[in-house]
Amino acid sequence: MSAERITLHGHDVHYRREGWGPPILLIHGVTGSSETWEDVIPFLSERHTVIAPDLLGHGDSAKPRGDYSLGAYASGIRDLMQALGHESATVVGHSLGGGVAMQFAYQFPEMCQRLVLVSSGGLGREVSIFLRAATLPGSEWVLPLLASNGVLSAGGRLGGVLRSIGLRAGPDLSEMWKGFSSLGDSEARQAFIYTLRGIVDPGGQRVSARDRLYLAQTVPTLLVWGERDPIIPVTHGYSAQKQVKHSRLEVIEDAGHFPYRDNPRRFAGILSDFIDTTQPAEADWDHLRELLRGGG
C-alpha cells in the first residue's frame, strides 16, 4: 500500500491508497489506523480504488485539540474524498468507524453508494467494560501510567487483563494491544478520551442510530459481524438487520471484533459479492423527504 499525506484545514491527514476502479472507503475504529486493513486491501484493490485514512487523532494523522464528534469525523471524510477527486464511494466502517460511516451517509447521502457496517458502534447500548471504564472521571490520569513504557514492556500482564475481558489470542488481542500502545503519546491519548466520551459513558454506548435506521433503506446496506465479538455483541447486528429493509447480515463464525483480520479473504469475498449484486444508491431527495415526514 502507498502511504500518502494531504493537508486539510491546516492539519496533516495520512491515508493509504491502492488499486484502480470504483472507490471503496475504509474507516477504522477507535485507537486504530489505516494499518488495520492491510490484510484485506490486497484483495479489494484488484478491482477497486481502496482509500483508507487515518482519522484525525489516530495513526499518523494530526492530533489537534479540537472536535472529535462523529459529525466532525464525517465532515473530514467528505473533505478528503472531495480533495482526492471522488464524488462517492462504497463506505465501510468498523466499530467507531461504523458510527462515522452512518453519520457520513446521513450528512452526505449523495456521496454514499453503499453502506457497510462491520462490528459497528451506534446500534445498541452494550459495549466492552474496558471502553466503559476508560470514560470514568480521572481516566485521563490513569491512562498515561497504564500506557507507559514500563507497563507495556510487561506485556504478559497487560495481555492477561485484556484476555480477562474476553479478548482471545489473535487479531482481537493484537489490535487492542496496538491501539493501547498508541496511547503512550499524550496527543493520541487526548484524542482518544475526547472521542470515546462523545459516544460512550460508564453505562455503555450513549450515541444510537437506531431511531434513524429507517433512513438506511435508501442505500444498499451490509452488516458484517464476528460471531464471538467480545467488544460489541453480534446481537446488535441481528437487531439492525431487522430494522433496515433489504439489508444483509453476514456473521463470520469463530471471528471476534475484527472479522476482516480473522478471515480477510472471506471478508473481501463478502464485500465484493455485495458490491457486484447491488446498484449504487442515488440520492432521491423526494423519497428522503417522504421518509422523514412519515417517521419511518
With a CB cutoff of 8 Å and minimum separation 6, the contacts of 3 are 14, 15, 16, 60
Q: What is the mean pLDDT of residues 51-66?
A: 96
Set out the domains of the chain in order of their start, with CATH numbers: 2-124+207-294 (3.40.50.1820), 129-201 (no CATH)
Go through 14-46 and write b for each residue having 16 or more CB atoms within 10 A of its CB, e for each that does not.
bbbbbbeeebbbbbbbbbbbbbbbebbbbbbbe
Query: Is the model's pLDDT at 221 over the cut of 50?
Result: yes
For the question of residue 211 being annotated catalytic, the response is no
Query: Is the model's pLDDT at 145 over the cut of 60?
Result: no
Which among 14, 28, 58, 257 is annotated as catalytic?
257
For the question of residue 95 being annotated catalytic, the response is yes
For residues 57 and 41, the answer to whether their CB atoms sit within 8 Å is no
Residues for the chain: how many in total?
296
What is the CA angle 238-242-247, rounded to 5? 90
| Averaged pLDDT of the chain | 89
The pTM assigned to this predicted structure is 0.91
Residue 120 cell numbers, joined? 459497528
**What residue has cell string 423526494?**
286
Write the pLDDT tens digit of every residue in 73-122.
999 999 999 999 999 999 999 999 999 999 999 999 999 999 999 999 99
For residues 84 and 51, the answer to whether their CB atoms sit within 8 Å is yes
For the question of residue 257 being annotated catalytic, the response is yes
Which among 33, 95, 119, 120 is annotated as catalytic?
95
Which among 119, 229, 247, 262 is annotated as catalytic?
229
